[in-house]
Amino acid sequence: MHMSELDRMIARLMTQRICLDHAARELAAREGSVLEVGLGKARTFDHLRALFPDRTLYAFDFEVHAPKRLVPPQASLFLGDFRETLPAAFDALGCSAALIHADIGSRDREADARLAADVAPMLDALLVPGGMVLTDRAMDDVGWQSVPLPDAAPGNWPYFMYRKTA
């Protein structure tokens, strides 16, 4: 059936929320920070704040598009090309993230696939064993274990959950 842009947005946001809520439960006993790769409008970042009130959150984006009241403090913000800021984050933070949410998709599937292939090993360096990656683009070549989406996910939006084996 044809999905309107409104249908697509709802499917995307519902899938995101269901997967993030699921990951928060899965990671309750696993220490580590939370990385938001692709801050965008910071809606999801705000949701991560609510889900992980006691953790340190970091956000990555090329530039800031979010409303001021939602933008994280400068010290938690890595601005610029992911291919540069992710290694810089590793230098600063080391292997310390329990959850990485990477919404990096655009309408250019080929460019997205190249970006996903480039950043996946960088995310892997930042991710603690047992940590999880949630992303809108497949990252199947890093050796992470694929995790099935929760049953509640609407099923009409591609999304990927992975766990780094301990």
Cα of first residue to Cα of last residue in the chain, in angstroms, is: 41
Query: Considering the rule CB under 8 A, would residue 41 count as an interface residue with a second copy?
Result: yes
Q: Pick out residues in 8-27 that bind a second copy (CB under 8 A).
A: 8-10, 13-14, 16-17
Kindly tell me which residue out of 19, 23, 39, 42 binds a second copy, with binding defined by CB under 8 A: 42
Secondary structure in 3-state letters for 86-119: HHHHHHHHCCCEEEEEECCCCCCHHHHHHHHHHH
Helix axis angle for 43-51 and 5-26, nearest 10°, is: 20
Query: Considering the rule CB under 8 A, would residue 7 count as an interface residue with a second copy?
Result: yes
What backbone phi and psi angles, to 5 degrees, belong to 107? -90, 0
- Residue 44: other Cβ atoms inside 10 A: 21
Query: Considering the rule CB under 8 A, would residue 5 count as an interface residue with a second copy?
Result: yes
Query: Considering the rule CB under 8 A, would residue 108 count as an interface residue with a second copy?
Result: no
CB of 166 to a second copy, least distance (A): 29
Q: How far apart are the C-alpha atoms of 162 and 152, rounded to whole Å?
A: 17
Query: Considering the rule CB under 8 A, would residue 30 count as an interface residue with a second copy?
Result: no
**How many residues sit close enough to a second copy to count as binding (CB under 8 A)?**
21
Interface segment toward a second copy; rule CB under 8 A; list 41-49, 111-119, 143-151, 156-164? 41-49
> Which residues form the interface with a second copy (CB under 8 A)?
2, 4-10, 13-14, 16-17, 41-44, 46-47, 49-50, 70
